[in-house]
């Protein structure tokens, strides 16, 4: 008989949220500011870079509102979709598009994440 001795792994259960049946009513997802922060991979000021628009407009495959202040990049559409739920909850407008240069999904919005504050 072979005996394998695995090291014990300590799990921080404070990172998990308990979901009850009442939380699932209406299929609403409670996405927090911290969740939003953990979803994006890069960000920058957007509207302030008006010269960037002329040079980079071709990158985005969907109509994008160049008047929003910030842009956030996400690895997957699912991450962008989840992040958009936070923006809906907090009443921030946004656009989701695909950045063909980086092959990432992006959200443009006026929401200022912690890196701005």
The pLDDT tens digits for 29-74 are 789 999 999 999 999 988 766 677 778 888 887 678 888 999 999 9
pLDDT digits (tens, 9 = 90+) for 66-112: 889 999 999 999 999 999 999 999 999 999 999 999 999 999 999 99
Q: What is the DSSP letter of 44?
A: E
pLDDT for 35 equals: 93
**pLDDT of 117:** 65
The model's pTM: 0.73
> What pLDDT score was predicted for residue 80?
95
Q: Is 105 exposed, middle or buried (0-12, 13-18, 19+ CB in 10 A)?
A: buried
- CB within 8 A of 89, min separation 6: which ones? 30, 31
Write the DSSP string, 59-111.
Answer: GBSS---TTSSEEEEESSHHHHHHHHHHHHHTT--EEEEEETTTTEEEEEES-
Please, which residues bridge with residue 105 across strands? 74, 98
Residue 75 to residue 37: CA distance in whole angstroms:
13
């Amino acid at each position: 008989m072979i005996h394998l001795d695995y090291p014990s792994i300590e799990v921080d259960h404070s990172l998990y949220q308990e979901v009850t049946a009442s939380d699932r009513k209406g299929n609403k997802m409670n996405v927090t500011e911290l969740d939003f922060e953990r979803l994006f991979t890069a960000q920058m000021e957007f509207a302030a870079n008006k010269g960037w628009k002329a040079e980079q407009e071709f990158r985005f495959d969907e109509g994008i509102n160049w008047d929003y202040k910030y842009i956030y990049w996400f690895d997957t559409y699912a991450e962008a979709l989840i992040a958009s739920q936070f923006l809906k909850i907090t009443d921030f407008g946004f656009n989701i598009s695909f950045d063909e240069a980086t092959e990432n999904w992006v959200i443009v919005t006026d929401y200022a994440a912690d890196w701005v504050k």
